[in-house]
Amino acid sequence: MFGQRPKVGRKLHFIGDSKHKQNIAGPVHPEMVHFYDHFTGDTLATDDWLVTVTSTDTCAVDHTYPGGWALFTTAAAADGEVTYLSTPLAWEDDMSAICEARILITDVSGVAVYFGFSDATFETSPAMAIDYDGGVLAAGANNAVGFIIDADDTVNGASSIMAVGVNDGDLETAIDSGKDWADGKIHVMRVELNPDGDATFWLDEVRIGFMETAVVSGTMMCITCQVANRDAASDTVKVDRVDGWEDEYTV
């Protein structure tokens, strides 16, 4: 028999004859703040998302596949412009903030994609929170931590999945996940912060790195997905879902 507070690991897995049957009796009370969007609505929820679109890029809900996606479509020009899909600045390392997204890139050679936390919902385009524009790691944000896949990355490779951070304007040493993103593939990226501003990175449920003092502790940040054009063709990036968690604020 379990006690009053049974402990489980990262996932609680229910098994039975049918996954559609109810498997929880009674109310469930999450103790963490939880944000979740599977993009099943007709449009992007303006209460949840701040969308900054540049050039002739677009970002909209798409239902080509079952469920929903946030569909980024870049301009058919090598203009390097960036489109930003960001929550409000409601996330903080002091609250052990976590963000996760499931993303599909159609043509890896044609775009740059950043996902993670940032202290700004958008930058002065064409800057991203962190990227390899021009082949060199650079940051538009003052504090940000997440993943970058950039066709302009001549240091690690155009399809390399990199974990990156910037602390008060100083870039952290990037962490190579050891994986490349192939065209048309889906990956799940997750960033976990602790109250010291440290970050742990997970790719497809595998821990790929730890970054000490990735951001200045106490910085309010958004969860953001940013897409930049890197070639002279129109490319697409699809975000299947975005999750965010953090502890409740107490006084």
Asked, for residue 242, whether it belongs to a domain, the answer is no
pLDDT at 126: 85
Say how far apart CA 73 and CA 185 lie, in whole Å: 17
CB under 8 A, 24+ apart: contacts of 207-210: 208/163, 208/175, 208/177, 208/178, 208/179, 209/163, 209/175, 209/177
pLDDT, tens only, 107-128: 999 999 999 999 999 999 789 9
pLDDT at 6: 73
Asked, for residue 222, whether it belongs to a domain, the answer is yes
Proportion of the chain above pLDDT 70, given as a percent: 93
Asked, for residue 155, whether it belongs to a domain, the answer is yes
pLDDT, tens only, 55-94: 889 999 999 878 899 999 999 887 789 999 999 999 999 9
Asked, for residue 187, whether it belongs to a domain, the answer is yes
Higher local confidence (pLDDT), 23 or 188 = 188
pLDDT, tens only, 208-239: 999 999 999 999 999 999 999 999 999 999 99
pLDDT, tens only, 32-42: 999 999 999 99
Rounded to an integer, the average pLDDT of 142-155 is 97
What CATH number did the domain enclosing 103 receive? 2.60.120.560
Beta bridge partners of 69: 62
pLDDT at 80: 85
Higher local confidence (pLDDT), 21 or 117 = 117
Asked, for residue 233, whether it belongs to a domain, the answer is no
At 133, the pLDDT band (50, 70, 90 cuts) reads: very high
User: What domain count does the chain have?
Assistant: 1
Widest CA span in the chain = 63
Asked, for residue 10, whether it belongs to a domain, the answer is no
Asked, for residue 5, whether it belongs to a domain, the answer is no
Asked, for residue 39, whether it belongs to a domain, the answer is no
Ordered DSSP codes for the chain: ---SS----S-----SS-TTS----S----SEEEEEE---SSS--TTT-EEE--TT-EEEEE-SSSS-EEEEE--SS----EEEEE--S-B-GGGT-EEEEEEEES-GGGEEEEEEEESSS--STT--SEE-GGGS-EESSSSEEEEEEETT-TTT-TTEEEEEEEETTEEPPPEEEEEEPPTTEEEEEEEEE-TTS-EEEEETTEEEEEETT-S-TT--BEEEEEEEE-SSS--EEEEEEEEEEEEPP--
Question: Domain limits at 66?
Answer: 51-227
pLDDT, tens only, 192-208: 999 999 999 999 999 99
